[in-house]
Structure 1
Amino acid sequence: MLVGSIGNMIEWFDWFVYSTFAIYFAGQFFPSDDRTAQLLNTAAIFAVGFLARPLGGWLLGRLSDRNGRKAGLTVSVGMMSASALMIALAPNYETAGNLGACLLVVARILQGLSVGGEYAASAAYLTEVSKKGWRGLGASFQYISVTLGQLAGLLVLIVLQFCLSDEQLTSWGWRVPFAMGAVGAVAVFYLRRGMHETTAYSVAETVDTEDSRGTLAEVWRNRRAAVVVFTLTLGGTVAYYTYTTYLTSYFVNSVGLGKSQASTISFIGLLVFLVLLPIGGYVSDRIGRRPVLIFFGIGTTIGTYPILQGMQNNPTWLTCLVLTVLGLVFVVGYSSVNAVVKAELFPTGVRTVGVAIPYSIATAVFGGTAPYIALAFRDAGRESWFFVYVSICAAISLITYVFMRETKDVNLIAATAAPGPTDRAQHSASKGTPVTTVQG
């Protein structure tokens, strides 16, 4: 579990430092006559990485289901290392014109392919290595490691802001975290080569044929679960990226706080978020996944508009910190259990690719575009419309949470073959075992 978590942390450090340092390097790769245009172009390239995630989810998910979790996790971190190094060395606009921006696009595509496979493979791995009755707590380390990666990125930003001037950060300092991420990913690559496969996957190897594992046909046979993963993710990914990624730019560009203040608020908020994640996972092991998800859905649907608007109405450091923490408390309801509940919906032989494809599509369409949509609304003078957009997305997911089947008692070892939804329900009913399908 430790190797999986550390690797996940490094991968997401590399993924998030792009958005964290965007306010510094946006002017390095695009013409300097329009600051909003620079941010929009940078956000668009940020979204490109999300568009590559479904393809990465399919390729690396298939690899993970056919050749083992170790294979998928090792390849994904290798790709992330290469992409981080590419960004660290990319030339700026004055030096090489559009070449730097093109390299950014290529690097973000590589990052998207990597993260598309990493998320589902790590979710499957952490869920499968956790004991039954403790899977919520164990799998919460998926987002704990994600948050640690983001905290590490913010910590590097705060240290660099303290040690360097704005001019130095804009000129070359922003390259430091990408170089650090590349080196860290190489170290994790070698650590993951010594990982052991999970018991659930080893059992699946003896039951399922290799040709049946990780195929799109098997995903289609479990399509109801795939639809649930998509709609379950929709509101969660928008809220997550709004409160953990977009707020840093929002504080600077809309609220009027300084860059260092914005970074500090985000850092403290994520620390609180980090502490609450295992609590959310533990609670889900006791009362179920659905109540925790419903808490997120209701809180985010009702609370997003007053939280974000309140930051503008009372733009003080303390107000923004309190409201940020409140928003993240709601997001804990999604982030603490989303990995485990998705993994529990699928049989072992299609678990990684089954989670990866619908999750990656949802994050590409909704999560990755959230910063771009927010900036576009702001540029049009309708920034509050973005607050409504986040609330609507959360409300759509809330409907799924209300009607989906509880999954906390699913037997992962027994879930090896991948029967169709109806056959699986009938088989489970006849044997008295938990059903892994969903309602509605």
Structure 2
Amino acid sequence: MFKLKKIICWTVGIFLCHQSIAQKVEFTEYDMPNGLHVILHEDHAAPVVAVSVMYHVGSKNEVPGRTGFAHFFEHLLFEGTENIKRGEFLKIVAANGGQNNANTSQDRTFFYEVFPSNQFKLGLWLESERMLHPVINEIGVKTQNEVVKEEKRLHVDNQPYGNLLADIFKNLFPTHPYNWSVIGSMADLDAAKLSEFQAFFKKYYVPNNAVLSISGDISIPQAKVLISSYFGEVPQGQPVTYTKVEEAPITRQLVDTTFDANIQLPMIATAYRAPGMDSRESKIMEMISTILSNGGSSKLYKKLVDDKKEALQIGSFNSALEDYGAYITYAIPNNSTPLDTLLQDIDEEIAKLQTNLVSEEDYRKIQNQLENSYISANQGALGVAQNLASGYTFHHKNTDYTNEELKLIRGITREDIRNAAVKYLQPSSRLVLYYLPAKK
């Protein structure tokens, strides 16, 4: 049986093993004259350092007819620079004992290297080269265009349930740029001119739209000097402005059907529009998903998989994005169980959350699960660097959100859970998606 969790990304479940004590993440932050925001966390627990840059640009910054640009640049900015020959970026990292990668969401693009701490300068040089001297030419665009097409074929077009999230988001956000997938349209990328790619880089990949977040075995005074020498000459770009597109409320249940030739078993999914990640209620929606489907003792798993044996897989997750969130449930039937039966069973468990307070036992369990998830996310240099950058980028420049999040979790009450379920999980404001097999 395939693993659906490898196909759609959501909050990672954490096994509760013991009560841990969270340590405050100490950091230093400042702005450079060119607008680059710098965050430094000094930790000598291991001789490694994570160098990361988070650009505040994702697929929501694109326009219809030219989608996929942000994800495309995730690939294109590995092509090479004026001082790094084409194809040499990854080789340099590997030859010096490091690892690196990048990822793109609807809201940001994140590049990183993790090196032995004696290669700290190399990490700074690589990221400054990417920002200051990228080579954006026809051969690089053509090469990465084929790479992105192959990625889409592999992870979307030929993947079971690969279009699930795309079908959900186009229904849930008919006006907002969340309407299209992060990978975008291949036709849009084919039609784009080189000058359009160059203009997109010039607009968004500038120091005043980025956070340089570094964590690990460093000396902060020395790091400041090095950062100035590597990034000080990068010119400031024009101010980056973004206006949130407001969606009209959903006032009646939406129903849609999609067909997938890569599956043999149908699925039913529901999706509700939820608050953006900066809202306290977004964390409450994450807590609701923990109650419903995190682990074998969760409400939906125990009911539909263990007791009634109606489902092969069942789950729910809160996809928290900057402007909005999407709260999603899904179920794959067992033994030809009707999809509407699965929907009814899911709705019954949601109705219980809307009517009754969760038990004290369940409340303590989900608090512990989220606290362990929080602690795990702040283990390791890379995790700390990314969380610090995300706090600044998505929580009104509040880098200390990394330390405040645990207090927020502990402050959520049983009444808060019930109220959020009533407010956001109404059948009249959701999408019901029937995801069905199609003939090949």
**Would you call these one fold, judging by a TM-score over 0.5?**
no
Q: If the length of structure 2 is used for normalisation, what is the TM-score?
A: 0.26
User: Which structure's CA Rg is the greater one?
Assistant: 2
Name the structure with the higher helix share: 1
Q: If the length of structure 1 is used for normalisation, what is the TM-score?
A: 0.26
Name the structure with the higher strand share: 2
